[in-house]
Amino acid sequence: MNSKTPAEIVLMKKAGQLTRDALNFAETLIKPGISTLYIDNEVKKFIIDSGGSPSFLGYDGFPGSICASVNDMVVHGIPSSSIILKEGDIISIDVGVIYKGFNGDAARTFPVGKISPEKARLIEVTKQCFFEGIKHLKVGERLGALSHAIQVYAEKNGYSVVRELVGHGIGRKMHEPPNVPNYGRETDGPVVVNNACLAIEPMINMGKKEIALLRDGWGIVTKDHLPSAHYENTVLVTENGVEILTL
């Protein structure tokens, strides 16, 4: 777990702001009848016009500037002209932005038009998992305290936590040590250091926790095809508490 310098933190905050703005812009585009590729193209232009660059584009060969994951897709959905949003869908948009060599990373699950109460509750609980988790994210404490809190809150509400996908450290690279699971024991994980930057991202399933990889090598769906939601922010942890850089 790397501690960031004051100069690095300034750039991390700017990258976080651009990431937040790109996600907020993406939300304004979401409506029935549009394709996920349309959202991708517009967000890419927005990021570049804002002075950043989309970190996902070309990352390990990923073809999009955002991940657009609809309904039962947990994460890593490839934007496509053939995926058309419909009333009642939910879509998880994950965005990464590089600014002067530093990364921001954040995700939200949005409704498409009017959605069912069940899907709305899943989105809200997933978001709250993040906030329950960061209550336990403290310098000098084990990272497992956050992971455990997320799992407890999700399962208390009748949902399951994806095991194979985790949050991560972030900075000059989008993925840095340590891994940040959304489950586990309070005594697990490294001790949190001052001025650490982490991407914390609960991925919560309405049904069972098991997932499957699509043939495209990217998209990950729930095995039972029930909906999944995603909520992610880049945070800075200091002796004074947690600062959310992408909110």
**pLDDT tens digit string along 80-105?**
999 999 999 999 999 999 999 999 99
Amino acid at 172: R
Residue 118 lies in a domain: yes
| pLDDT tens by residue, 109-118 | 999 999 999 9
The CA angle 76-77-79, to the nearest 5 degrees, is 130
- Which pair of structure tokens corresponds to residue 103? 């990364």
Count of the separate structural domains present in the chain: 1
Residue 107 lies in a domain: yes
Q: What is the DSSP letter of 3?
A: B
pLDDT level of residue 186 (50, 70, 90 thresholds)? very high
pLDDT level of residue 173 (50, 70, 90 thresholds)? very high
- The pLDDT of residue 31 is 98
- The pLDDT of residue 2 is 85
Look over the chain and give the mean of its residue pLDDT values, rounded to a whole number.
98
Residue 223 lies in a domain: yes
Residue 208 lies in a domain: yes
Residue 18 lies in a domain: yes
Mean pLDDT of the region 154-180 = 98
Q: What domain range is 164 assigned to?
A: 6-244
Query: 187: alpha, beta or left, given left = phi > 0 and alpha = psi -120 to 50?
Result: alpha
| pLDDT tens by residue, 117-137 | 999 999 999 999 999 999 999
- The pLDDT of residue 204 is 98
CB atoms within 10 A of CB 117: 7
pLDDT exceeds 90 at position 1: no
Residue 239 lies in a domain: yes
Residue 169 lies in a domain: yes
CATH number at residue 17: 3.90.230.10
Residue 1 lies in a domain: no
pLDDT exceeds 90 at position 213: yes
Rounded CA separation 36/63 (Å)? 13
Mean pLDDT of the region 49-66 = 97
